[in-house]
Amino acid sequence: MQKNLNTNPSANPSTNLNTTAPTPSSNSEQSAINAIRASFLHFIEDPAQLDNAQEAYQYIEDGLMVIENGKIKSLQAFEQKNADLCESVEDQRGKLIMPGFIDTHIHYPQTEMIAAYGAQLLEWLETYTFPTEKQFSDKEYAQKISEFFIHELLKNGTTSALVFGTVHPESVDALFEEAQKIDMRLIAGKVMMDRNAPDYLLDTAQSSYDQSKVLIEKWHNKGRLQYAITPRFAPTSTAEQLQFAGQLKAEYPDVYVQTHLSENIDEINWVKSLFPERAGYFDVYQHYGLTGNKSIFAHSIHLTENEWQAMSETDSVIAFCPTSNLFLGSGLFDLEKADKNNIRVGLATDVGGGTSFSQLQSLSEAYKIMQLQGKKLSVFKGLYLATLGSARSLSLDHKIGNFVTGKEADFVALNWAATDLQKLRLKNSNNLQDKLFALMMLGDERNVEATYVAGKLVYSAV
Ligand code: GUN
Ligand code: ZN
């Protein structure tokens, strides 16, 4: 374990750039690029909402993106560039640059227990998850895992995420402190959990309210950091705690809410028995004022018709977690149904229930989930989901998600063919859609050449 922990990044600066800088402003000038030449792909619209998916994206085979003060200044064909820009152009021809991937649901304390064998949700939580999360009462431990976690996100081309801490407030401090070092856009929250978990992981309704409030005041909108009120899921909160969570949301309406919903059949039946007075699982959250346009519900697989409708009416958001849903045997999420109901959906890994940090891997499994339902996931819809779609799901599309002028310059440089198999697969492919599809199905962290946050290089594979 120690060997893998990124405790001394300076020992290998070539693979871990800038992650230990004490403040964003101290990042070296050297890594602040002005202009970059490469192929560019980004989305302007949801391909599923247009008759012609080609109108949803912009692809520039030989493009030039100019960055100023960490924001996108322009993106255009290289041949149209202004002559005065020529001197400082970083040449990445042959690479594909996309907006940084956005992960809309992930548990950083579960990083070390990814791929735990043989259990579905409730048994998995008890056997593996809770004992692992116990360690985060130790701030130093939380710092080590935070450092590893953020490096792992960047290594996979993920530049923003909505993240669960543990019940310990110091777990959230540690994560935010680490993200702050590179000025990363991150949303996180302290888990609220006052029943149905081991004593060592329980807070109380009152202490969860007090501690969350302190964290909101300390971190929400501090630079690019934001806070999410985080009741783990209905079964681990008393009615009193959910009431307090709703009160916090009423006091800080701009703050996010993140939780889990209808992931597993046994879980749903448990919620029914714990809250018999409520119409269903989603109604528990709605009753306590926890739904709305900044509320992100992970999974949402087994919704009733009434719940689809209620999610739509409240403009609540779903985090689609393909690798987790398959790994934990939870079920097949119906993305088309969410679209039909006009519900915003973000893409998520849900590590440690999920089995990869790579959003390319999430999309590969998402495609198979749709296939098992006799449905399709086009590569354009997939890559939209990993970028602009997820930005929209987090109400952050005015800041991130594509390369429109003025947006924050978070992006990833991808190698089209990082493996021998990918090279063979692409040998006779000149069609953009086919090349992207091969990348979506076969790609992972090996395809990530470099990752940039706010215009600065924060990870490089070479
Ligand atoms: N439901 C409640 N807690 C969790 C968790 O940590 N992971 C997943 N996948 N589902 C949950
Ligand atoms: Zn989760």
pLDDT digits (tens, 9 = 90+) for 46-87: 999 999 999 999 999 999 999 999 999 999 999 988 766 656
If one residue of 126, 263, 302 were mutated to test the ligand 1 pocket, choosing by the most ligand atoms within 8 A of its CB, it would be 263
Q: What is the pLDDT of residues 243-254, one digit of tens each?
A: 999 999 999 999
- Of the two residues 257 and 11, the one the predictor is more confident about is 257
Q: What is the pLDDT of residues 359-414, one digit of tens each?
A: 999 999 999 999 999 999 999 999 999 999 999 999 999 999 999 999 999 999 99
Q: Which atom of ligand 1 is nearest to the CA of 330?
A: 9
Q: For the chain, give every domain's residue range.
A: 9-99+402-460, 101-377
Once rounded to an integer, what is the mean pLDDT over residues 16-35?
46
Please report where in the chains the tokens 């402190």 appear, as a residue.
177
Please give the pLDDT value at position 21: 33
Please give the pLDDT value at position 7: 31
Q: What is the pLDDT of residues 315-358, one digit of tens each?
A: 999 999 999 999 999 999 999 999 999 999 999 999 999 999 99
Ligand nearest to the CA of 110: 1
Q: Is the pLDDT of residue 242 over 60?
A: yes
If one residue of 122, 129, 318 were mutated to test the ligand 1 pocket, choosing by the most ligand atoms within 8 A of its CB, it would be 129
Tell me the CATH number for domain 101-377. 3.20.20.140
Please give the pLDDT value at position 303: 98
Q: Is the pLDDT of residue 423 over 70?
A: yes
Please give the pLDDT value at position 84: 60
Please give the pLDDT value at position 81: 80
The 3-class secondary structure across 89-124, one letter per residue, is EEEEEEEEEEECEEEEEEEHHHHHHCCCCCCCHHHH
User: Considering only CA atoms, which of 326, 270, 263 is closest in space to residue 298?
Assistant: 263
Q: What is the pLDDT of residues 290-312, one digit of tens each?
A: 999 999 999 999 999 999 999 99
Q: What is the pLDDT of residues 193-228, one digit of tens each?
A: 999 999 999 999 999 999 999 999 999 999 999 999
Residue 330 Cβ < 6 Å to ligand 1:
no
Residue 263 Cβ < 6 Å to ligand 1:
yes
Q: Is the pLDDT of residue 22 over 50?
A: no
Q: What is the pLDDT of residues 181-202, one digit of tens each?
A: 999 999 999 999 999 999 999 9
Please give the pLDDT value at position 87: 66
CA distance 2 to 282: 41
Contact 40, 93 (CB under 8 A): no
Q: List the residue whose alpha carbon is closest to atom 11 of ligand 1.
A: 260
pLDDT band (50, 70, 90) for residue 88: confident
What order of strands is seen across the sheet that includes strand 411-414?
71-77, 57-68, 35-43, 89-99, 411-414, 448-453, 456-460
Please give the pLDDT value at position 28: 44
> Which backbone phi and psi does 161 adopt, to 5 degrees?
-155, 155
- The percent of residues above 70 in pLDDT, for the chain, comes to 92
What is the distance between the terminal CA atoms of the chain, rounded to a whole angstrom? 24
Residue 324 Cβ < 6 Å to ligand 1:
yes
Q: Which atom of ligand 1 is nearest to the CA of 350?
A: 9
Joined together, the tokens standing for residue 249 give 């949301």
Return the bridge partners of 72, or none. Answer: 67
Please give the pLDDT value at position 83: 62
Please provide the average confidence, as pLDDT, over all residues in the chain. Answer: 93
Once rounded to an integer, what is the mean pLDDT over residues 114-119?
96
Torsion on CA atoms 41, 42, 46, 51, rounded to nearest 10: -40
Angle, CA of 408, 158 and 252, to the nearest 5°: 65
**Is 9-99+402-460 a domain of CATH 2.30.40.10?**
yes
Which residues, at least 6 apart from 431, have a Cβ–Cβ distance to it below 8 Å? none
Q: Is the pLDDT of residue 19 over 60?
A: no
Contact 448, 459 (CB under 8 A): yes
What b/e sequence results for 263-293 when a residue is b if at least 16 CB atoms lie within 10 Å of its CB, and e otherwise?
bbeebbebbeebbeebebbbbbbbbbbbbbe
Burial class (CB in 10 A: 0-12, 13-18, 19+), 4: exposed
